[in-house]
Amino acid sequence: MIGGAPGAQESERTRLALMSVYLLIVIACYTITRAARDSLLVAGVGPSQLPLLYILTAAGIGGVAAIYPKALSARGVRSVVRWTTLVAIVCLVVFWRAVERGGRLPLYALYVWVSVFGAVVVSQAWSLANHALDAREARRGFAWIGLGGVVGGILGGGLAGFVASWYGAPVLLPMSAALLAATFWIVRRLESVEARARGGPAARRRRDNPGGAEEGLRGNRKESSYVSTLASLLFAGVIVEAFIDYEFKTIAGQGFASADRLAAYFGGITSCGGVLALLTQSFLTQRVLKRCGAGAAIVLLPIALLIAFLLVAAQPTLWAVSILKLTDGCLSYSVHRSGMELLYLPISARARAAAKARMDTLVDRGGRAVGGVLLLALTAGFALSLSTLSLVASGALVVWLGIALTARRGYVEAFRTALARRAIEPEGLRPRGLDRTTRRALEAALTGTDERQTLYALSLLGLSHSEVWRSRLPSLLQHPSAAVREETVSLLTASKTLTPEVEPLWTDASLDVRVQAVRHFCEAGPQMARSTLRELLANADYRVVLAAVHYCARYRPSDADLIGARTIERALVITGADSVAARTAAAQALGVVRVPRARQFLNRLLDDPNPEVAKKAIWACGQRGHRSVIPRLIAMLAERSLRWEATEALLKMGNPALRELLRRFNDDATPMNVRRRIPKVCSMFGSQEVADLFIDGIHHMSPVLDIPLTKALNRMRSRSGRIRFEPPRVVRLIEEEARMRDGFRAIQRAIRRRRDEQGTHGTGEIADLLERALGERLDESRHRVLRFLHLIYDPVDIRTVQFNVSASPERRAGAVEFLDNLLTPALRELVVPIVEGRENESGREREELSCDEALQTLLEGDDAWLKAIARELVDRSTPARAASLQPELCRG
Amino acid sequence: MGGLWMSAVEKVLFLQRVDIFKYATTEMLAYIGAVAEVVVTPSAFVIFSEQEMSDAMYVVVRGRVRLEKDGREIILIGPGQSAGAWALFDHSPRLMSAVALEETVLLKIRSETFYEFLADHDEVTPAIFKAVIERVKGLTADTL
């Protein structure tokens, strides 16, 4: 029956059949055990205990639901299925023996167990189905699997009625166990079938190890241990919170006779706590963090609570417990919370997200549960008084304090490690400012010899507005690293602190340091900027002049007009070590200031043999809008080292550049390596006219240009919301692409058929190569089709599909399923078979070609690479055949 | 070492067997073939020596090449096999020497030329990356 399922692919039929039988068996087992359970309970105990059993069942399922996803994630679905089945079989046998011995307890236990068993195995069966089938297969096959489940229910019920009437209800339990044992074989068979379908053990390992994403977190043991400390800290806090809540409500309940007064009291305490928290956050939190650090912030709350609990222990009165509640409300949502947030800072971003999620779910809920159980035991079990309960809470607080101190040490250590790994995001610091611990760690890094750490610390400290660390900067002016010296001067300039110690750096060996030194004197003391710059540009030492010109070019101060033709001329005639830097500075300066004979200077610099100088000259042309150089800039698009600058300059020149670009693109005389680059540049102009022109160009120019044109259109679609692509034009492109694909497939089949029927005659390698090349053309065509869809659908959706289509067969199936739901019916019919690679089902095939016709088609086509392979194949075939196909090939 | 002409298709037939190009399309291989020189070496010719800075990779087209370390043979390679593929990315001293055992035809790809080529054919880079990453993963898995 399943073998004939419409649309079911050959490779998935066995898996579908196995999954159907699997669900049939487990549902049958569940139906049989349920029948046994209900009959045994009603007969042996009666229905009066059912409400209690419902509650117990809910608790049992809740417990399993908490553990089950983790087990799935850690062990993989197949392993969990095997273990669950084994445990279920053992349980069924044990229950069978226990029920036969008599007594009520086994019946209660059986009742709860069967309910949990039913919930687990059914969910497990669908997990297994999801695992065994990809999204497309699932779409086709899930109905059949479900049918297996329905049949299992019918069969199980019938079997239970029949067997129980003959052998008694308890026998149903071992019978279920025996049935369940059969599923071991099914799971094993499923595994081997799936491995063959998916490409071997590697794919299986990937699918069976969904927890791989957490490997990175587990891999970093130091970080992991620190996260555990944070979890313990939170856990302790949540437990103590349960004590606070209990004592507060108990004493309040005793203190107020009426519900109205109690409600008023609760409201008053809550609002007072809120006001106190606001005040604390506004006036205390930042001070505590800055002066004492995060370590102190996280011990403040437990210390305050300890005092408050001792107070309650001494006098368990309303005012004492009010102080306790207010202390908690005031500190826990202000200083303590800010301190806790800081503690996450040294954890890498990826681990942080996982850790926070785990804290919010597991640790928080676990802590509350443990707190509840503890309270239950201490109050109901040991009947402790509130004073004694407060002493117990004080003990918990001491533990909390101990963990907080450990976390404080761990924080410093983790911070140090993160600093060395450059793992702290500046955004993480910006909103909070720097706490003392952080600042000290960064200041310590400033005194180190490690250039990377020092620079990183400087960049982080630069974000804070603290004056304290700035006093350390002058000492870094002598740092052996030029990058550190440069960054130091830059920070001093930014802080407007004119520092005379910077002056010697005018003649520093590093040009970048010299530029920063010049900038410092021009910008840190603004009242004398112009005179200082004039003095520096006329300096006898050319290194200083060079730095001053670079400063003008890079930072464009208003005084840059001090640079004149003479300065440029001087730069162009400099020889020796500084010659390149001088010409670079001259080119850069020409882009900033108006200088007589600028065009002449720039033409000379565009021809400079040094690419850095040429790049700056191109940039300057763009800045000054020298249109006469547009043809030269377009030609430069073929030069790798100058391409980017030429593009930028052309964009800067606007429409005149765009017109020339389009003219050159349509001109067959333009070299192909330039034409291939033009669509990308044009796409950056974001013009509707360009988009229309390009969309009409696809499939009508050289095939080499199809990809650059399509990419350019995609870029325009992604970057410019103004551009519209008419769906009918895009559909036409996809239809043309489908026709091309049909042609390639026909040629591919002809070559394959010839090889199968007549052998290769020594040309097997070439024929294989041709077949492979044709396959690649089909892949490229599929990507182009997706790129066309990108023009009329949400680019993010289509990019997701593109990524998943290339990633793996399983992901491709999911992507196709997504497309199936995304596209309009007409497009779906056209595109889905292309992406799935099953166009032969669509009936769009051409007539079959002979091998000679196929080769002739390639030889007459305009695909240079396929033509080259076809020609080689013809050359190596018999001379007569070669002559019949291509007479000219035989003449030589 | 002398030169010899090979068609683009012939070059691709050899380059497609090189591990590092396994994810490159045949057309990409044709482009790579365009920057590969065909060299003919006499018998006993030392193609590269141990500790010499690596600057090129070689694919054997015809003949046999002995790879040796400290004079001890490590492996013999023949047509379709390559030597020094990592040299394309790693300018470090060679770990082995390569000696032609007979008159040998090789495809030689210089790393400098290859980098130039990659810069102009950025579509090839992901295919090369994929093969390199796969190889690194394989090495890591072997080590663990």
Which tens digits make up the pLDDT trace of A91-114? 999 999 888 888 888 888 887 888
Q: Going by C-beta distance under 8 Å and a sequence separation of 6 or more, which residues neighbour residue A129?
A: A19, A23, A138, A142, A145
Q: What is the pLDDT of residue B66?
A: 94
Instruction: Give the Å distances, CA to CA, from B67 to A461, B1, B37.
Output: 55, 18, 21
Task: Determine the Cα–Cα distance for residues A163 and A73; give it in Å rounded to an integer.
Answer: 39
Q: What is the pLDDT of residue A618?
A: 93
**At residue A445, does pLDDT exceed 50?**
yes
Q: What is the pLDDT of residue A366?
A: 66
Q: Going by C-beta distance under 8 Å and a sequence separation of 6 or more, which residues neighbour residue B68?
A: B50, B74, B96, B97, B98, B99
8 Å CB contact of A769 and B26: yes
Mean pLDDT of A25-31: 86
**Distance of residue B11 Cα from the nearest chain A Cα, in angstroms:** 11
pLDDT, one tens digit per residue, over A284-310 is 777 777 677 777 888 899 999 999 999
Closest residue in A to B122 (Cα) is A640
Question: What is the length of chain B?
Answer: 144
**Distance of residue B129 Cα from the nearest chain A Cα, in angstroms:** 15
Task: Determine the Cα–Cα distance for residues B84 and B57; give it in Å rounded to an integer.
Answer: 5
pLDDT, one tens digit per residue, over A664-710 is 998 989 998 899 999 999 999 888 989 998 988 888 888 788 889 99
Q: What is the pLDDT of residue A294?
A: 76
Selection from A780, A779, A699, A708 nearest residue A732 by Cα: A699
**Distance of residue A891 Cα from the nearest chain B Cα, in angstroms:** 18
Strands (E), A391-433: none
Task: Determine the Cα–Cα distance for residues B67 and B75; give it in Å rounded to an integer.
Answer: 5
Least confident range of A146-155, A600-609, A661-670: A146-155
Q: What is the pLDDT of residue A524?
A: 80
- A-chain CB neighbours of B27 within 8 Å are 773, 776, 865
Angle separating helix axes A542-555 and A511-523, nearest 10 degrees: 70
Q: How far apart are the first and last CA of chain A?
A: 63
Mean pLDDT of A265-271: 69
**At residue A725, does pLDDT exceed 80?**
yes
Task: Determine the Cα–Cα distance for residues A282 and A21; give it in Å rounded to an integer.
Answer: 66
Q: Give the gyration radius of chain B's Cα atoms.
A: 15
Residue B86, amino acid: W
Task: Determine the Cα–Cα distance for residues A458 and A391; give it in Å rounded to an integer.
Answer: 48
Q: Which residue has the higher pLDDT, A427 or A710?
A: A710
User: Between A776, A868, A872, which is nearest B25 by CB?
Assistant: A776
Task: Determine the Cα–Cα distance for residues A505 and A511; give it in Å rounded to an integer.
Answer: 10
Phi and psi torsions of A557, nearest 5°: -70, 160
- B-chain CB neighbours of A704 within 8 Å are none
Three-class SS state of A837: coil
Tokens representing A384 are 């402790």
Q: What is the pLDDT of residue A839?
A: 62
Task: Determine the Cα–Cα distance for residues A816 and A831; give it in Å rounded to an integer.
Answer: 9
pLDDT, one tens digit per residue, over A603-631 is 889 988 898 899 999 999 998 888 889 99
- Highest averaged pLDDT of the listed ranges A83-87, A181-185, A646-650: A646-650
Map tokens 């400390």 to a residue.
A229
Mean pLDDT of B61-84: 90
Map tokens 């900033």 to a residue.
A592
**At residue A714, does pLDDT exceed 50?**
yes
> With an 8 Å Cβ cutoff, is A644 touching chain B?
no
Q: What is the pLDDT of residue B12?
A: 93
**At residue A526, does pLDDT exceed 50?**
yes
| b/e burial code for range A690-699 (CB count within 10 A of at least 16 → b) | bbebbbebbb
- Highest averaged pLDDT of the listed ranges A219-233, A234-248, A459-473, A646-660: A646-660
Q: Which residue has the higher pLDDT, A815 or A227?
A: A227
pLDDT, one tens digit per residue, over A808-839 is 666 677 777 777 778 888 888 888 888 887 66
Mean pLDDT of B16-24: 88
User: Between B7, B13, B25, which is nearest A765 by CB?
Assistant: B13
**At residue A139, does pLDDT exceed 70?**
no
Please calculate the CA angle A159-A163-A165 and round it to the nearest 5 degrees. Answer: 120
Q: What is the pLDDT of residue A119?
A: 73
**At residue A845, does pLDDT exceed 60?**
no
SS (HEC) of A483-503: HHHHHHHHHHHHCCCCCHHHH
* CA A296 to the chain's CA centroid: 35
- Classify B39 in phi/psi space as left (phi over 0), alpha (psi -120 to 50) or beta: beta
Q: Which residue has the higher pLDDT, A538 or A350?
A: A538
Task: Determine the Cα–Cα distance for residues A506 and A145; give it in Å rounded to an integer.
Answer: 80
B42 pLDDT tier (thresholds 50, 70, 90): very high
Q: What is the pLDDT of residue A207?
A: 42
* Average pLDDT, rounded, for chain B: 86
Is the Cβ–Cβ distance between A482 and A513 less than 8 Å?
yes
Mean pLDDT of B111-125: 84
**Distance of residue A770 Cα from the nearest chain B Cα, in angstroms:** 9
Find which of B5, B6, B12, B15 to mutate to test the A interface (most A CBs within 10 Å of its CB). Answer: B12
Q: What is the pLDDT of residue A712?
A: 92
User: Between B8, B116, B119, which is nearest A868 by CB?
Assistant: B8
- Highest averaged pLDDT of the listed ranges A47-56, A161-170, A523-532: A161-170
User: Between B7, B26, B119, which is nearest A773 by CB?
Assistant: B26
Q: What is the pLDDT of residue A174?
A: 92
* Ordered strands of the B46-48 beta sheet: B46-48, B97-100, B65-69, B72-77
Is the Cβ–Cβ distance between A254 and A307 less than 8 Å?
no
SS (HEC) of A662-693: HHHHHCCCCCHHHHCCHHHHHHCCCCHHHHHH
Q: Which residues pair with B41 in a beta bridge?
A: B104
Q: Which residue has the higher pLDDT, A805 or A438?
A: A805
* Average pLDDT, rounded, for chain A: 78
Tokens representing B104 are 């040998």
Task: Determine the Cα–Cα distance for residues A618 and A809; give it in Å rounded to an integer.
Answer: 47
8 Å CB contact of A868 and B25: no
* Helix (H), strand (E) at residue A826: helix A825-836
Instruction: Give the Å distances, CA to CA, from A71 to A13, A65, A66, A217, A758.
Output: 29, 10, 9, 18, 57
